[in-house]
Structure 1
Amino acid sequence: MIPLCVCFYATGIMLLDTLDAVLDVGGVYDSSQDRYDHHQKGFDEVFGHGFNSKLSSAGLIYKHYGREIIAKELQLDETHEDVNHVYLAVYKNFVEAIDAIDNGINQYDTDQPPKYVNNTYLSSRVGRLNLNWMDPDQSAEKENAAFQQAMIVAGSEFLESVHFHAKSWLPARSIVIDCLKSRGDIDPSGEIMLLNKFCPWKLHLFELEEELKIDPSVKYVIYQDDRSKSWRIQAVAVSPEKFESRKPLPIPWRGLQDDELSRESGIPCCVFVHMSGFIGGNQTYEGALAMARASLKF
């Protein structure tokens, strides 16, 4: 455990040498001495594991201490595979953006202006805690108080991310793995997956298809709506960022409901198919599976 972590911007090298740990200043990256700066010439450290964004001091700290923190939160050994899954997921979904913003890395490879302004991310929220230039009190005491508040905001959101991935993301991943591996029992095509317990499945499906080298890819996911107790057939999107489906539900079914849809499809107990074809419903599991199977043939 680091007994003292200091981040500041104007002091002498001699003072830096007396500190237990130095973050974001000093021009040195040496984990053996707990020196974590990223501003020096020639620094090009990345997180690894397929991530290529240049690290900030936040990323450096996470790279060296993230596993330990997550292992303690999960109450598991650092070598446990669940610790590794959460360690990588928290970097991807939380820490990497901090690294990229701090190092001026654009999120998109385009020279087009954004379609809207987004100042809701962590770096923006922390930035708003800086002293107002119009405030007559610009004292070091007030600046330090603002810095303490920023540490609370960043620290609490980091732990929220860890807790989410440990208590929600990781259990969902386990469910999707089991359902993906047993998809052949649902339909011999392997293109229909039954989600036996509803959970946030979309991002996991894309990642696990790549990880497990699934071919052909899943076209439809069937799950029960907990509120209505009817069944849903959802067409899988082409990617997590796209609305377009890999194989939308058939055009002749779209916009139809109930008996009209059942007559058109030849499948009883139909409920609806959305106009875009990305989702449909049936009163029974057997009906939902029949709709998915018929859709594969269009």
Structure 2
Amino acid sequence: MGYVILHYAFAPEGDLRGRVLGEKSPGDRLEFVRTRSPERIQEADIVFDVGGVYDPARGRFDHHMKDKPLRDDGSPYSAAGLLWKEYGLAALRNLVTTSLDEEALATLWQSLDKSLILPIDLDDNGVAKMGRLSLADIVSACGPAWDTAEVYGIGEARKRESLGFANAATTVAGHLVNVVDRMRAGLKATSRILAAYEAAEDKRILVMDTGMPTEKVIFERDLPVVYVVSPAGPDRWNVKAIPPVRGDFGQRVSLPEAWRGLDGQALAEVSGVPDAVFAHPARFICGAASREGAVRMACLALEIDAALKPAG
């Protein structure tokens, strides 16, 4: 991740993979060397994860010292975290292809720092494991097997080590590009969700004219939304129930029991909505062929739930 951050901050037009394998393209501003040689380290403009020094003014970003650099909350930085702190905004300016002001970029940087970089810091320092199938796990799997030198020889093992790093860098770069773009879109989603909420007649039903992730905003802003209505295709509008806790199973208000697992004509007859299409057996999502039909299903679900509750 540290290498990928530097790539996007300084030379995004260069060959991320090629320079690791010694195939640097002409004009590439960045030369990447993996070494523990004191001489090479001394010569380098930027050194990270080795060298025993943290000094951004001198381009030194190690974290293995006794007095290692810490975040404000006391969490230790990894080298990737230190590079993100120093060069993350520069990387984002090259990663984001749409127009974002500095405030939005700072918000994006902060979100990525918390969700992507901090877990790397904690894992790399032995504070908390990222878990199975995490980014750390995927990067680790790119490296050669432990007995590569024994089976194929030292020369081949070195080649495979470099190839593994190049593959890992390509994987991490692709992940970072996708995460940045999704978070950029998330910033746009926030304003649209809040506008739709303000326009809603019943604040429990959020009607979106475009499909987008809404749960994050609903929970962060503590909105009393119970159902989100949004398009799911050219002729489909869905009603999705919001869970009681973000990311949890279950619903603040489940869809009616009588609709459970029905579809087509059977659901239309039971619900009274002519273009009703389906209702999931788990009662967390249903749909209709039109916006009006989906909104009607959401309203009916709330009415049915209220009628089933004891008075008082």
TM-score for the superposition, normalised by structure 2: 0.73
Once the two structures are TM-superposed, the CA of residue 129 in structure 1 deviates from its matched residue by: 1.4
Sort the Cα spacing of 1:37 and 1:122 in 2 relative to 1 into closer, same or farther, 3 A. same
Q: Which residue of 2 aligns with 1:225?
A: 232
Q: Which residue of 2 aligns with 1:111?
A: none
Q: Which residue of 2 aligns with 1:164?
A: 178
Once the two structures are TM-superposed, the CA of residue 41 in structure 1 deviates from its matched residue by: 1.8
Structure scoring higher RCO (CA < 8 A, sep ≥ 6) equals 2
Of the three residues 59, 74, 77, the one matched with 1:55 is 77
Sort the Cα spacing of 1:142 and 1:197 in 2 relative to 1 into closer, same or farther, 3 A. same
C-alpha contact 1:235 1:245 (8 A) present in aligned 2 = yes
Structure 2 gap segments, 5+ residues each: 1-9, 11-28, 306-312
Sort the Cα spacing of 1:294 and 1:80 in 2 relative to 1 into closer, same or farther, 3 A. same
Q: Which amino acid aligns with 2:63?
A: H
Alpha-carbon separation, structure 2, partners of 1:130 and 1:192:
52
Once the two structures are TM-superposed, the CA of residue 79 in structure 1 deviates from its matched residue by: 5.8
Q: Which residue of 2 aligns with 1:98?
A: 120
Once the two structures are TM-superposed, the CA of residue 210 in structure 1 deviates from its matched residue by: 4.9
Of the three residues 197, 207, 225, the one matched with 1:194 is 207
Count residues in correspondence. Answer: 276
Once the two structures are TM-superposed, the CA of residue 75 in structure 1 deviates from its matched residue by: 5.5
Alpha-carbon separation, structure 2, partners of 1:77 and 1:283:
36
Alpha-carbon separation, structure 1, partners of 2:291 and 2:100:
41
Matches within 5 A, 1:132-211: 132-136=146-150, 139=154, 145-188=159-202, 190-199=203-212, 201-202=213-214, 205-206=215-216, 208-211=217-220
Sort the Cα spacing of 1:131 and 1:287 in 2 relative to 1 into closer, same or farther, 3 A. closer
C-alpha contact 2:54 2:69 (8 A) present in aligned 1 = no
Structure having the larger proportion of residues in helix: 2
Structure 1 gap segments, 5+ residues each: 109-116
Q: What are the Cα deviations for residues 242-277 of structure 1, in whole angstroms up to 9, with x where unaligned?
A: 222222212232122333333433333222211111
Sort the Cα spacing of 1:7 and 1:247 in 2 relative to 1 into closer, same or farther, 3 A. farther
Alpha-carbon separation, structure 2, partners of 1:198 and 1:226:
9
Once the two structures are TM-superposed, the CA of residue 78 in structure 1 deviates from its matched residue by: 8.8
Q: Which residue of 2 aligns with 1:290?
A: 296
Of the three residues 80, 83, 94, the one matched with 2:105 is 83
Q: Which residue of 1 aligns with 2:135?
A: 121
Q: CA RMSD in A?
A: 3.3
